[in-house]
Amino acid sequence: MKLVEATKKDGLKAMFHLMDEDEIAKVDAVILAILSETDEAELKGFLKPGETVASLKTLSRGEVASRFAGLMGQIAPQLSDVMRKSECRILGHVMEGNVAHVVVKWIININGADVEIVDVASFRRSGENWKASLKGEILAALQAGAKSKKKGLEKSEKK
């Protein structure tokens, strides 16, 4: 499975290059919403010299999400290490129109203990390829982070 191998090799940011473009656009939009509520001085690890949050909107689709994932990998390098050492087995799939829902079992070793996680990943046909769909809980977590950031800013402005 290309997505698993790319993520193991290049970390989380590789995942966004193999995702459905409409799904990537959703991630980019949520991350841009979070960044627009953030003081640019706090974004030195994210913004390149001369860039502003507004200029990020001109980047190619998926670039914002890819940078965000790369930054997460720098902040928590152990996560990338765990992913590289994990094992992923495909248990089966179910077709729903042009979407394949693939049941996978991850075996992740954390501090010497194997942890098994069964999950479903969905893929949509895109020409000759299959592109990963964004899991609802990931988008929900990003959106919750954006709302939390906005509430925090509103509280600090009232003081």
pLDDT the model gives residue 93: 93
* 149-155 contact pairs (CB < 8 A, 24+): 149/34, 149/37, 149/38, 150/37, 153/37
SS3 call for 28: helix
Q: What is the mean pLDDT of each run of 10 residues along the chain (159 residues)?
A: 64 68 80 80 80 86 78 68 80 91 88 88 84 72 61 52
Measured between alpha carbons, how far is 55 from 38 in angstroms, rounded to an integer? 14
Taking the complete model, does pTM exceed 0.85, yes or no? no
- Four-CA torsion 36, 17, 73, 139, nearest 10 degrees: 50
